[in-house]
């Protein structure tokens, strides 16, 4: 019922944030999958949630890998943008964006329409395939 | 000779109206808000030294006049961007900070995703600031655009600069923005934010309830007054003299 409070898109997976002040991504944050993979785009009665952050601190920023629970499955994902303001001159997005990824780092989708921050280009080695499918950079 | 056949009365030519553009331009002064020091007990020497550094940077790099609500295009040097420079176009929603740490936040909606970038005015990484549309809005903080419909924050990345004459006054855009359904990130209807640029479509009962949080005594509080007119005059003279050298 809380999900339907702000009906934004035709699907009942509302991509607009529901909670007020959001910080960076940690366990149990609802995220938005931005690639065109089937797993990320088929509607489900529960939004994809983060269940683990592969980090010393449990807080994930841009470029960190997290474990997502989508459609009853566990999948790794890469954070490409969050609501928390980061260092100056870096973009701050209106939603917590995430790209689904395999264990070896290959993205599952084939296209990313939403803008990706340029900072990710720093780690070209690990994320080269994700950056290759990205269309817009900010 | 008129169509009546009678000779037409001599009409002298209209007197030429001389618009002294120089005078009009000087009448309108703009001092960037980060030059005005905040109220406090710090030594004015600190602000003087900072102002010298700011003027030094402005001599090398042109920071144009802009207000909250104007559309800007900023090119930054980025080692990770192709062509080593990244360009971002957006509406300025907030100008904060004083001195060299002055910042401004640009907002745009790209591919249905709202993006905000906080730039530092005096950061050497900034290569160009271009004002595409110079205008003011009814408020000097447009943070409510985050909760407004996305059409009010979308600006074309390849927008052409809107031409305007030099001596004209800055236009105030009296646009009233329509909001997404509640809940919002902040309760913008409350009098503490004093927002004039939103078209509240809330029921009368909610608007009256919001007025419960009004603090009408604040405008009469004399300790909160900070008259910057004299400080501005002094700093304006100082900055202009230095910039002309």
A44-97 pLDDT, tens digit per residue, is 999 999 999 999 999 999 999 999 999 999 999 999 999 999 999 999 999 999
Q: Write down the mean pLDDT value for chain B.
A: 91
Strand A32-33 with A97-101, pairing: parallel
The average pLDDT across B72-86 equals 90
How many contacts does A have with B, using Cβ atoms within 8 A?
73
Task: Provide the CATH number for the domain around residue B106.
Answer: 2.30.30.790
pLDDT for A7 equals 42
Contacts of B88 in chain A (CB under 8 A): 91, 138
Look up the pTM and report it. Answer: 0.84
Assigned domain for B5 exists: no
Residues 6+ apart with CB under 8 A from B183: A5, A6, A20
Structure tokens at B220: 């009469």
Contacts of A114 in chain B (CB under 8 A): 110-113
In chain A, domain spans: 25-133
Interchain contact, B180 vs A114, CB within 8 Å: no
Residues 6+ apart with CB under 8 A from B24: B167
3-state secondary structure of A88: coil
Assigned domain for B21 exists: no
Fold of the domain spanning A25-133 = Ribosomal Protein L14 (2.40.150)
Interface probe with A: pick from B97, B115, B149, most Cβ of A within 10 Å: B115
Assigned domain for B225 exists: no
**CB atoms < 10 A from the CB of A115, how many?**
23
The H or E element that residue B94 is part of is strand B85-96
Query: How many domains does chain B contain in total?
Result: 1
**Contact criterion met (CB below 8 Å) for A80 and A120:** yes
Domain enclosing residue B72, as ranges = 33-51+63-173
Strands (DSSP E) found in A15-117: 32-33, 49-53, 65-70, 73-81, 91-93, 97-101
A5-30 pLDDT, tens digit per residue, is 444 444 444 445 455 445 699 999 99
Q: What is the ipTM of this complex?
A: 0.81
B111–chain A nearest CA distance, Å: 6
């Amino acid at each position: 019922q809380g999900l339907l409070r702000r009906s934004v898109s035709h699907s009942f997976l509302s991509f607009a944030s529901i909670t007020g002040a959001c910080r960076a991504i940690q366990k149990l944050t609802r995220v938005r999958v931005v690639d065109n993979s089937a797993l990320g785009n088929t509607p489900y009665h529960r939004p994809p949630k983060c269940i683990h952050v592969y980090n010393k601190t449990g807080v994930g920023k841009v470029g960190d890998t997290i474990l997502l629970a989508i459609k009853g499955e566990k999948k790794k994902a890469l954070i490409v943008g969050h609501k928390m303001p980061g260092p100056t001159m870096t973009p701050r997005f209106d939603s917590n964006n995430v790209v689904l990824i395999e264990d070896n780092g290959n993205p599952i989708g084939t296209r990313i329409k939403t803008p990706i921050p340029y900072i990710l280009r720093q780690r070209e080695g690990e994320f080269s395939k994700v950056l290759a499918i990205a269309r817009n950079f900010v | 000779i008129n169509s009546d056949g009678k000779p037409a009365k001599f009409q002298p030519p209209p007197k030429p109206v001389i618009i002294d553009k120089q005078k009009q331009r000087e009448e309108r002064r703009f001092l960037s808000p980060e030059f005005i020091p905040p109220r406090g007990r710090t030594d004015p020497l600190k602000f003087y030294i900072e102002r010298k550094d700011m003027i030094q940077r402005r001599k090398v790099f042109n920071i144009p006049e802009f207000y909250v609500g104007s559309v800007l295009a900023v090119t930054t040097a980025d080692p990770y961007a192709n062509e080593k420079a990244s360009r971002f176009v957006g509406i300025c929603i907030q100008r904060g900070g004083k001195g060299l740490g002055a910042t401004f936040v640009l907002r745009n909606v790209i591919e249905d995703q709202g993006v905000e970038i906080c730039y530092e005015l005096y950061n050497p990484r900034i290569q160009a600031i271009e004002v595409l549309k110079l205008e003011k809005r009814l408020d000097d903080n447009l943070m409510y655009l985050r909760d407004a419909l996305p059409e009010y924050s979308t600006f074309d990345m390849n927008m052409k600069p809107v031409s305007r004459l030099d001596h004209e006054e800055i236009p105030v855009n009296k646009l009233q923005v329509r909001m997404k359904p509640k809940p919002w990130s902040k309760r913008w209807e409350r009098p503490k934010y004093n927002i004039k640029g939103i078209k509240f479509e809330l029921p009368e009962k909610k608007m009256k309830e919001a007025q419960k949080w009004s603090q009408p005594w604040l405008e009469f509080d004399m300790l909160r007054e900070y008259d910057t007119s004299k400080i501005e005059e002094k700093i304006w003279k100082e900055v202009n003299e230095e910039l002309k050298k």
